[in-house]
Structure 1
């Protein structure tokens, strides 16, 4: 009898779970179809507002215009099978810089219909390669053909990328920085545009530094994720031996937020080198990184294989791409942002990933007006709740966040396996991976996938903790664990 009742209860739970999943799918389809349409409407709205405020509109990835592609020198986007690259042409070298195709190719029903309509209009106009040098492609870019004595070469170019790079290739900037929709305060617009904001903490009273530690925060966060948590809980012994650096990544916190940057993995690495490794003469170091920062940490470790003493990754966004998957970047995009309304943190990630103009709206409402929200939070909480996480969120930049999300998380889809192989075969450092069992944004198997690639990696699953509370809320214990990792690495 009890077995029958238990079996019946399990069947009911399974039926309820199946019903809930189906309901989530149906509601998600309706909600995201509406958001697809809303993002298109906001695209037109921002073009009008940008033109009224600045006499030109900000380039976006919704569509491309052939006249925007005309440039005699600089960079173009080359679309290849399995990825895309920005090609820099010069007399001395050919530099390739990876750009994720998820920036300009995020398939949805309304965007596909829109692009198909544009493509059919072009066919009706009978535009041929002999009559024009640029042709609108069905992917929302421009196809540029070259037949000067060589076999025809076709490139897919996106106008937003070209326009954002014009400032880098010597063309005068016609728009102000910051833009009207960005925050104008001093914290969001530092005087120095060449280096990141760095919070350094080291031995006092002239004591010698024994080792260096670099802390890298996650997406839409800042150095306060570390300085307001674990920094204050390190032991006096650790503070007397280690020099610790917590950076605000490019486009976040109090670091520069250049409007013409594509916020590639290469740019993030170069800024860390210029802001920490070079000025502080760091020769060897430990790395502690959270979420998005884990990908930057892996790239940094691969670039300096002999310098890294230990590698600690918290909730790394690593999704192994199945064999046979033709579009690795699109696969990771679907994993990170599944276009579902539940769980809510996944819904938020989908909003930021899929909708360029809706995410800009959120940035205007929150980041541009962060001073108002900071005051409001202090009044509501009577200063009883620390708001450093909110400060990190409000301090982000729309262009920086949107491009970093696509170019680092999605764009590194085909690289992470290579990075992990290098860590496994060519680095002698210890590798420790932390993950919260209740993390609804990044599943636990992301961390286990790293161990399957790097067998010596130690994976520690923390019960009752999620993507943020894996550090915040257990900072004292985590500080002690980090100190032990560093000591073991030295021995």
Structure 2
């Protein structure tokens, strides 16, 4: 028994050593990219936003919330060896240094003609994000994208004037309303004879085709308010059921707490549960996005969750140039490009 335990510990150490080395380098790379992005943001944007390496009080680009203590610790306190050692002190002073010297202003004036700077336009995305028509289409709407399905009712049910049972479906992390439309909605009957249902599948704020505003912290309160604004109020829902999956369960519980008199039932599928001790959010992130190299999906999730600037670099290479990648993929797969 002891030999088996010792063998398992040895395997765990052997597998953990490469992961520790890789993510140690990622800690260093993320701090370096922080300095790079801060300088480039100074050049490309007249009012650059602060990254989450800063303290909440130091953030710019949006109004500081007085109740910032309710934000997740993972927003500003993601563990990083070099950040905790104070390696970002220079990066925090970089905007002031470049502003005093005038380097950023000089490069901005040199790279962008005065005529271009005077054109009034509302920028939806940052310079490192894609600005194509599809990627900024959400700017035309200030409400969540909602997929509604209501099966037809039988004549007998229609004559009975039975009230409609409304059901709100909330997806989880890295998902969208398609999670429900492809797994539940497609199997619903076209006609119901006993109960009159109306189903709402929402894209949460920042997901799917819903708005992705820059001046937003994507807090639990904002998620609930957007569901209220996009689903409950427009459809006059006085009573409804809630079905949620994964991260959406947290939003569902908050929604049920706010509308306790309207929620008839709540169904939570694979809800996350973690303690409420200090640092629990970071401990939860350790579990949800564990720093390991295998499988690739876990490695990618950890990289994108723990490292803000590396994730931004990946989005710059992949997402900002997605149309180019789409062309390449279609050529490689012998699909005709339209």
TM-score (norm 1): 0.53
| Alpha-carbon distance in 2 for matches of 1:358, 1:327 | 23
Please say if 1:368 is aligned against 2:323.
Answer: no
Structure 1: any 5+ residue segments left out of the alignment? 1-6, 78-84, 87-96, 123-172, 384-491
Which of 108, 120, 145 aligns to 1:197? It is 145
Aligned to 2:164: 210
How far the C-alpha of 1:360 sits from its partner, in A, is 1.4
How far the C-alpha of 1:355 sits from its partner, in A, is 0.7
Aligned to 2:231: 276
Aligned to 2:8: 17
Please say if 1:112 is aligned against 2:59.
Answer: no
Instruction: Name the CA shift for 1:342/1:70 in 2 (closer, same or farther; >3 Å).
Output: closer
- The SS at the match of 1:114 is coil
* 1:67-78 alignment, distance < 5 Å: 75=64
* 1:283-322 alignment, distance < 5 Å: 283-321=238-276
How far the C-alpha of 1:328 sits from its partner, in A, is 2.7
Structure 2: any 5+ residue segments left out of the alignment? 94-119
CA contact (8 A) 2:171 2:179 kept: yes
Aligned residues: 300
Please say if 1:259 is aligned against 2:214.
Answer: yes
Provide the alpha-carbon RMSD of the alignment.
3.6
Aligned to 2:110: none
Please say if 1:103 is aligned against 2:103.
Answer: no
Instruction: Name the CA shift for 1:294/1:382 in 2 (closer, same or farther; >3 Å).
Output: farther
| Alpha-carbon distance in 1 for matches of 2:326, 2:203 | 19
- The SS at the match of 1:103 is helix
| Alpha-carbon distance in 2 for matches of 1:379, 1:230 | 35
Which of 121, 126, 148 aligns to 1:179? It is 126
Which of 169, 175, 197 aligns to 1:221? It is 175
| Alpha-carbon distance in 2 for matches of 1:70, 1:364 | 22
1:58-102 per-position Cα deviation (integer Å, ceiling 9, x unaligned): 311224699x5799x96356xxxxxxx33xxxxxxxxxx721232
Instruction: Name the CA shift for 1:316/1:52 in 2 (closer, same or farther; >3 Å).
Output: same
CA contact (8 A) 2:224 2:251 kept: yes
Higher strand proportion (structure 1 or 2): 1
| Alpha-carbon distance in 2 for matches of 1:327, 1:344 | 27
- The SS at the match of 2:78 is coil
Aligned to 1:349: 301
| Alpha-carbon distance in 1 for matches of 2:59, 2:316 | 29
- The SS at the match of 1:286 is strand
TM-score (norm 2): 0.75
How far the C-alpha of 1:196 sits from its partner, in A, is 0.6
CA contact (8 A) 1:199 1:223 kept: yes
| Alpha-carbon distance in 2 for matches of 1:112, 1:177 | 33
Aligned to 2:188: 234
How far the C-alpha of 1:32 sits from its partner, in A, is 0.9
Aligned to 2:99: none
| Alpha-carbon distance in 1 for matches of 2:271, 2:13 | 29
Instruction: Name the CA shift for 1:116/1:373 in 2 (closer, same or farther; >3 Å).
Output: closer
| Alpha-carbon distance in 2 for matches of 1:381, 1:244 | 38
- The SS at the match of 1:75 is coil
How far the C-alpha of 1:278 sits from its partner, in A, is 0.4
| Alpha-carbon distance in 2 for matches of 1:341, 1:55 | 39
How far the C-alpha of 1:326 sits from its partner, in A, is 3.1
Aligned to 2:281: 329
